[in-house]
Amino acid sequence: MKVARRRILQASGIIAGALPLVGCEGVISNVADGLENPIPDETLVSSNKQIDQDFHLLSRATFGPRPGDLAYLKETGKAAWLKEQLHPESIDDRVGNLRSRRFETLELEAGDCCEFKREVLRRDLCRHALLKAVYSKRQLFEVMVSFWSDHLNINIEKGDCMYYKAAGDRLVIRKHALGKFQDLIRASATSPAMLVYLDGDQNKKEKPEDIPNENYARELLELHTMGVHGGYTQHDVFEVARCLTGWRVHDKFQRGGVFFEPKWHDDGEKKVLGHVISAHGGQSDIDKVVELACRHPATAQHIATKLVRHFVADKPPSKLVTSVAKTFSHTDGDIKECLIALFNSKEFDDYRGSKIKRPFQFIASALRATAADTHAHDPLIDYLTKMGQAPFQYPTPDGYPDRGEAWVATLLWRWNFALALIGNDVPSVKVSIEKLARSTGALKGETADPNKLMAHFLGRLPNENEKRALNIYVAQKSGKQQSQNLSQKLSQTTLAKARTDSGLVSVMLASPAFQRC
């Protein structure tokens, strides 16, 4: 979207004028809204009974549609839209950058973060992740960032990981999120955060009797590349661990700097996955191991399975997995090509509304759909913590689960979030439901048609049962028992009041259909 020069000037005028008056964050909100109206005058909503195909793409390839996104995708066309999203650098993301740029700790070298308190680093990382998910226009990129952050999970609470994660987020995950898989794994292998998290920096053969620390070697094969039943043996784990001995992280001077310590390296011959790695390879052993693991056919299968599970269905259709795995192998692990194959498949279109949103996605999608204004302070992040998905805090290296079953126990918190968000009861988060209702056509003058708003949230019109459920709410709130001839028995004003009651929007966000995508 082009921004007129006048708009920018207007925006900077707002900065100059408003700075002394309101807090800095208010200014950012104003400037961002000046760059682009968060709720357009008219918002296109689906009028289908089935989930709109484009809405479906937005539900999976982004953190959920914002008002206006559906119209934009329809205008642009799926192919061009995907191309744009797969080349995030081509997208003007001033709003996203403006909203998420105030975190200096995210820009620092690994070692420099040690100057900050852990709470500050944790908070910055979480806020940054959520703000990017909610406001960045480079949505598919952000979705992949979140996907790889789970795939190469780092728990920031362990050791010095808190200090090194920001650099890892930038130089491992974000740098390679849409690049080549092998580059991503290679970057992760010697990133300070991963070396600390999985004890790679303690894996040594200093004395002849030293036994290698297998922690990272095992997860490299089991989680990061081949998968638990990918065909490696326990002996392979041991041999990979030998290859990886000697990589260390400076912990005093130049803290966070990674270096290779030849004295700690086991320089003998190794045999990994049937290939001999000759003696005296030194620090090149790691390159060979990463290459062998990434090019193994089990890796293509494992990554394809995970991608299909994430974007298509909890039980990944095997035909699609095979085809994405083929693309992965043919393109030497080109992530973009895998995503194109995936989004253009018939299976992708078939599985609409079948995934359960994870808490992070539930919250991000609710904030996006309502065009909420937020700077993601603690009260908002606390909801993620309560629901068990605070960013970068999953304790074990397998990352937050990607199957719906793992998250269905969080409904109560989702319902409470829906109540609080719509009631403007989450400190630091503001929504304007009336504006949204007018934009979607759910509110025209005094007439209310909640179905339109529901269609905005679900990508389809509510079904008969959902309409009944909305009516139950309206009837309860207007103090009457539900009856067959509801509208006749209630006075118009009571009914209108109940229908425009913002609590009705909480019902929509708490509905089972909004938990799915």
- Amino acid sitting at position 165: K
Contact predicate 236/272, CB 8 Å: yes
Radius of gyration of the chain, Cα coordinates, nearest whole angstrom: 25
- Which member of 131, 505, 507, 517 binds another protein (CB under 8 A)? 507
Whichever of 213 and 323 has its CB closer to another protein, that residue is 213
Supply the minimum distance, in Å, between the C-beta of residue 211 and another protein: 5
CB of 135 or CB of 407, closer to another protein: 407
Name 247's Cβ contacts closer than 8 Å, sequence gap at least 6. Answer: 189, 190, 195, 200, 201, 203, 258, 259, 260, 261, 283, 286
State which of residues 254, 476, 483, 493 lies at the interface with another protein (CB under 8 A).
476
The answer to whether 374 contacts another protein (rule: CB under 8 A) is no
Per-residue x/- marks for another protein, 221-250, CB under 8 A? Answer: -x-----xx---xxx-xx------------
CA–CA distance, 73 with 53 (Å, rounded to integer): 11
The reply on whether position 311 binds another protein by CB under 8 A is no
Among 3, 120, 406, 486, binds another protein (CB under 8 A): 406
- Asked if 475 contacts 482 with a C-beta cutoff of 8 angstroms, the reply is yes
Size of the site for another protein (CB under 8 A): 65
Q: Within a 10 A sphere around the Cβ of 391, how many other Cβ atoms?
A: 24
Does position 423 interact with another protein (CB under 8 A)? The reply is yes
Interacting positions 190-219 with another protein (CB under 8 A):
199, 202-207, 209-215, 218
Q: Are 146 and 209 in contact (CB under 8 A)?
A: no
Identify which of 37, 123, 62 has the alpha carbon closest to the alpha carbon of residue 365.
Answer: 62
Closest CB 341 distance from another protein, rounded Å: 27
Q: Provide, rounded to whole angstroms, the least separation between the CB of residue 205 and another protein.
A: 7
Using CB under 8 A, which of 470, 490, 495, 505 touches another protein?
A: 470
How far is residue 181's CA from residue 425's CA, in Å, rounded to a whole number? 42
Four-residue CA torsion sign, 376, 377, 379, 381: positive
Determine if 493 is a binding residue for another protein (CB under 8 A). no
- Cβ 9 to another protein shortest distance, Å: 44
Q: Give Cα separations from 227 to 45, 218, 297, 398 (angstroms).
A: 41, 10, 11, 11
Question: Can you tell me which of 5, 465, 484, 488 binds another protein, judged by CB under 8 A?
Answer: 465
Q: Is 427 in the site for another protein (CB under 8 A)?
A: no
What's the CA gap between 316 and 195, in Å, rounded? 32
Q: Which residues bind another protein (CB under 8 A)?
A: 199, 202-207, 209-215, 218, 222, 228-229, 233-235, 237-238, 356, 386-388, 395-396, 398, 401, 404-413, 415-416, 419-420, 423, 425, 465-466, 468-470, 472-473, 476-477, 503, 506-507, 510-513, 515-516
